Amino acid sequence: MKALFDPEKIERDLRILEREYSLTETRTVLFNLVIFANREELAPIEENLLIPLLGKRAARIIRISLGHSGETSVSVSARCAPDREEKGVCFQEILIENGSDDAGVAPGSWSAFLIRDLPVYVLWHTPLPEADSIGPLSFAREQADKFLLDGEYFLQKDLPLKDYIQRVRKQLIDAGVQVSDFTWERIRPLRIFTAQVFDQKALMDLLPYVTSLEVSGPSPLSRFYYSTWVRCVLEEEGRKLEVVSRQADTVQVVFRFRDTSDPLVWRVDSEGMGRAFFGTEEVLARPLKFPSDGAILLEQVDIPIADPLYRRVLEGL
């Protein structure tokens, strides 16, 4: 346990490892990334988020692995990859395996390893508490510049959609914390495509006459984010919108208008093309470029503030 609270030794070990694994000059660390996750979920986080980031941004990464028995332990490692200028871009990694003593999540434990004056991003991949209380989340809020969530993860853990939204609002947004959700970022191509469809003159003129929206797709949270985004945009101008959300294997959106029986229908086909039809006429076809989770993380660590539109959508529930 002594080593857990010995930041000076940790820093020395990290410097030695970084020099050992980087054969060239190294890039300066740009941010702290703190990951809270159960131990069995660290492997997919490594594969989907950290490996794509390696070689692109230098970072201090603190992984807090939950669900261990016995005493808390800490270990250090480093990884480096050359960038285009052949300089080493390194991860300085600290792994805290939180034991039954909960020393790894105690105030002053992991925070002692943060590099001061650099942004702190917290990837929270463990349950969000229902009620506000003193604990790991409340302490992480004090340290974080921005929380990174994946709403799909929480819904897959059987947390109802409405409860998830309410907990994010109560535990983070209302506490003044910047929040980003990977699920919100994943639907950005759908929002961009919608804007491109209505950017055409004939359809732009119909926008004030939208009366209903039907959203189909496999993800309830994505359907909620998309429909609430549309509703926020339209109701901002005083228009009321009827919204229907349907479970389906593929994404399809239907807009209906006053004074015309022709709907605007757009869908994503099997090849990732967005195709929009007004009545029987195809009005737009574009390839949709959906970002990987690694690309989303790269964007999020470059910008310390969250998307203000995401907050508006959360408040639209």
> At which residue do the structure tokens 């300085």 appear?
92
pLDDT at site 1? 41
C-alpha–C-alpha distance, residues 229 and 189, integer Å: 13
- pLDDT, residue 5, reads 64
Domains of the chain in sequence order: 2-144 (no CATH), 186-287 (3.40.30)
The percent of residues in the chain predicted with pLDDT above 90, rounded, is 74
Assign 3-state DSSP to the chain and report helix, strand, coil percentages, each to 5.
40, 30, 35
This model's pTM is above 0.85: yes
Percent of the chain with pLDDT over 70: 96
Tens digits of residue pLDDT in 72-103:
999 999 998 888 888 889 999 999 999 999 99
Q: By C-alpha distance, which of 125, 99, 102 is closest to 38?
A: 125
| The pLDDT value given to residue 2 | 44
Query: What are 231-238's contacts with CB under 8 Å, separation 24+?
Result: 231/316, 232/309, 232/312, 232/313, 232/316, 234/207, 234/210, 237/208
pLDDT at 4 over 80: no
Token pair, residue 81, equals 């990859």
